[in-house]
Amino acid sequence: MPDASPSSHRGLLKIYLGYAAGVGKTYSMLQEARTLARQGVDMVIGYFEPHNRKDTIALIEGLEIIPRKRIQYRGATFEEMDTEAILRRHPAMCAVDEFAHTNVPGSERCKRWEDVQVILDAGISVLTTMNVQHLESLNDQVWQVSDVRVRETLPDWVVKQADEVVMVDLPPTALLNRLRRGQVYGPEKAQQALQNFFKESTLVLLRELALRQTAHQVDVRYVEQEEPAATYPDHEVRALPATNHIVQPSDRILIYVTADPSSAMLIRRGRRVADYLRADCFAVSVHPDADLRRMPAAPRERLEKHLNFARNLHIETRLLQGENPAETLVDFARLHQVTQIYLARARQALRMPVVGHSLVQQVVRLARDMQVTIVAERRRQPEH
Amino acid sequence: MSNMTRPDPEQLLRRVQAEDEFRKHGRLKIFLGYAPGVGKSFRMLDEGRRRRLRGEDVVVGAIQAGPSPVIQEILRKMELIPLKTVAGVPMIDVNAILRRRPEVCLVDGLAYDNPPASAHAKRWQDVEELLASGISVIGSVNLQFIEELRDEVERITGREVNDTIPLSFVKMADEIEVVDAPADMCKEGGVMLRPEATPADNQQRLMELREKALLLAADVVDHQLETYLQRHGIEQLWGAQERILVCVTPRLRASTMIESGRRNADRFHGELFVVYVNEPDLRPDEHASLEGNLSLARRLNAQVSLLESEEPIHAIMEFARQHGITQIFIGHSSRERWWHRLRGSFVDHVIREAEGMDVRVFPN
């Protein structure tokens, strides 16, 4: 970590990225915390989840720990990170486990990453841990691979903002051995884990995702550091692998959002592709009546949830008024120099019997001058 | 990633163990770093130390010259089989290790050349001998010493590398583990850099190397996954990598599509495929346009395939499923015909059939 001295600037954020519990994220984070403390950095532990792991617990010896805050919820006591106490103590740097954690209701902020933003804003640098499956844009893919819908997610832009993302790697066979030796969970939970999330093929895939994600984070950072390069017209793309560092005339991606549940998946996919292509990304919804309040409550709530979700991922949203969604969408796209329209693929049951009448077909036909991407429904095949 | 009957992990473990017994072959684990100083030797020794605590019989066969104080501290608690020096060149003492017969031998710096006239020219070949005799090896190597990456790394660092190991040796490892660290944490990384360049430039170089190491590991892991799935008879329905398939026809100005495919594949560090379904009796102009598209595809390092089928859509979908394609790029036909309105166009049909894949339709 570069300069970590207290200042009026925003703190630096470093993320230890893994692909499952037990790969050694917390261990690596605390090891660095120790090293820095030994070098004289004013370091505290803001939150630490021991999970009964002996090696890890040994590492916090001698480090200052900010006591957790107790919160009463429905008659039970929960413990959360005490952000206000950290701010009062104001160290140069703070180690915070489990970046993607959701706080118990009644906490100041919903998510731990929001707490971390507050700590960073106060000029305190943060070391933190997360798994690749906590990235919002990978939620559907992770579900496909593992059959687990990860609920504790964080928006990709939060990770992109980090000053450093470091991969904590461990081969899955070694992880499985740790699990069997009882070094990750207690015996009962370990057995459960082996039968669910911790299947070798699942772990291998998640590991590959984490490696590629870290490579992408490195890529993003060094492209940002490069001088603003000249833009190249399409035909000058070179065959060399180095092409990924040519800055292209920027793509503009437009996501068509509806009340249909497929919209969430579409927004994640659009966001992910936009991030990789370094494209602008916005989302629109089309209605005959611009005043949503006159819409039936159930679909309106779903639609608002989707638009809100898009905004949380830093996607600009717009409500468009129009009788014909396909025409309104394509006109808007043309007016705003959109290069790609993102649509969800109509599901089997909803598909129009007559060819040419589905929204997808109408848009494809109307937008012959731009690219239209029809996003597949990511779903698991029936297991048996 | 489903439709499969997965044996439970215990069963898997037994099967793997049975295979190992049968092979009577040591297991190879490699720590891969992207520059000197990221901490490979430390991680390798730390693993050796922990295995020893768990009761495995571990020795150190080679450690790089000038170890740091932290490494010296670990070494004091380990059994060493000293390097022997022949003609001023250090090499691992294979015979001494074979006589000692540990379960696990740690070998730092896998890419070293042995002195001339040694039994093996390279240290990694010594390691092969240890493995063949049933001794497991934990080794370490830096990205720049991989033969196949030598040109690229030399382009980045401007430094020539002599001692190398083949990529195939890294790929055959039972396990590979990336030792990752931010570029500015890599203290001795300076060895890799150009003295004449600015610190910022050198930082960029290290980042480029770091990205390459991560992607190389991802490829090795991908390869291992394929082997694993094959061994267990599981059909892969989904991978971690983006694979783009561009469909070209003789009547399509496909250059934008192919170039965009290349750019997208690069950005995702994915793979690019280009297919063409053979049609008989092309007109000369169609033939020329097709050839132009295919040669552009080859120039951009796409994997080009010609498919033979009476049913183009069926052939494309089969190819896509076999190759784990995640995105299909197709173009609008040059003009819309009246029957498209009734029966649906090529584009409509591809969208309908491409279950589980994104379809991107390009202007013609």
Residue B55, SS3?
Answer: coil
Give the pLDDT confidence of A210-248 residue by residue, as tens digits: 999 999 998 887 776 654 443 433 333 333 333 344 444
Dihedral in degrees, nearest 10, Cα atoms B22, B25, B26, B29:
-90
Mark which residues 182-211 of A lie under 8 Å from B by CB.
194-195, 198-202, 204-209, 211
Which residues are within 8 A (CB) of A352 and not within 5 positions of it... i.e. 6 or more apart? A346, A358
What's the confidence (pLDDT) of residue B17? 65
> In order of start, what are the domains of chain B with their CATH numbers?
9-231 (3.40.50.300), 243-362 (3.40.50.620)
pTM of the shown model: 0.81
What is the identity of the amino acid at A175? Answer: L
* Closest approach of B168 to chain A, Cα-based (Å): 19
- The ranges assigned to domains in chain A are 13-221, 240-375
What's the confidence (pLDDT) of residue B177? 93
Is B230 buried (19+), middle (13-18) or exposed (0-12) by CB count in 10 A? exposed
What's the confidence (pLDDT) of residue A232? 36
Lowest mean pLDDT among A175-184, A346-355, B344-353: A346-355
Number of residue pairs across A and B with CB atoms under 8 Å? 202
CB-based contact B301 A195, cutoff 8 Å: no
B357 neighbourhood in chain A, CB within 8 Å = 376
Among 3.40.50.300, 3.30.10.20, 1.10.3470.10, 3.20.20.70, what is the CATH number of A13-221? 3.40.50.300
Lowest mean pLDDT among A131-145, A220-234, A315-329, B305-319: A220-234
How do the pLDDT tens digits run along chain B, 364 residues long?
333 445 566 666 666 665 665 567 899 999 999 988 888 899 999 999 999 999 999 999 999 888 888 889 999 999 999 999 888 889 999 999 999 999 999 999 999 999 988 899 999 999 999 999 999 999 999 998 998 888 888 888 877 888 889 998 998 888 999 999 887 655 454 555 666 777 777 788 888 889 999 999 988 888 777 777 767 766 555 567 899 999 998 877 788 899 999 989 988 888 999 999 988 888 888 888 899 999 999 999 999 999 998 888 999 999 998 888 999 999 987 655 555 555 667 888 888 888 889 999 998 7
Residue A76: in which H helix or E strand, if any? Answer: strand A76-80
Give the pLDDT confidence of A276-297 residue by residue, as tens digits: 888 999 999 999 887 888 888 8
Is A296 buried (19+), middle (13-18) or exposed (0-12) by CB count in 10 A? exposed
What's the confidence (pLDDT) of residue A244? 43
CB-based contact B228 A378, cutoff 8 Å: no
Among 3.20.20.70, 3.40.50.620, 3.10.580.10, 3.30.390.50, what is the CATH number of A240-375? 3.40.50.620
Residue A245, SS3?
Answer: helix
How high is the mean pLDDT of chain A? 85
- What mean pLDDT is predicted for residues A192-201? 78
Reply yes or no on whether the pLDDT at A334 is more than 50. yes
CB-based contact B361 A374, cutoff 8 Å: yes
A195 neighbourhood in chain B, CB within 8 Å = 8-9
Report the complex ipTM. Answer: 0.78
Which residues are within 8 A (CB) of A183 and not within 5 positions of it... i.e. 6 or more apart? A22, A53, A55
Give the HSE-up count for residue A87: Cα atoms under 13 Å, Cβ half-sphere. Answer: 11
d(CA B313, CA B317): 6
Is A160 buried (19+), middle (13-18) or exposed (0-12) by CB count in 10 A? middle
What's the confidence (pLDDT) of residue A239? 33
What's the confidence (pLDDT) of residue A247? 45
What's the confidence (pLDDT) of residue A356? 52
Which residues are within 8 A (CB) of A136 and not within 5 positions of it... i.e. 6 or more apart? A153, A154, A155, A156, A268, A271, A313
Residue A321: in which H helix or E strand, if any? Answer: strand A316-321
Mark which residues 86-105 of A lie under 8 Å from B by CB.
none
Asked whether the beta carbons of B138 and B44 are under 8 A apart, the reply is yes
* Closest approach of A326 to chain B, Cα-based (Å): 16
DSSP A124-191: -EEEEEEEGGGBGGGHHHHHHHHS------B-HHHHHT-SEEEE----HHHHHHHHHTTSSS-HHHHH
B12 neighbourhood in chain A, CB within 8 Å = 200
- Alpha-carbon dihedral sign for residues B214, B219, B222, B223: negative
Task: Give the residue from B221, B317, B348 with the most A CB atoms within 10 Å of its CB, the best one to mutate.
Answer: B221
| Chain B residue whose CA is closest to A369 | B363
Give me the residue from B10, B301, B364 closest to A239, CB to CB.
B301
- Do A240-375 and A13-221 have the same topology in CATH? yes
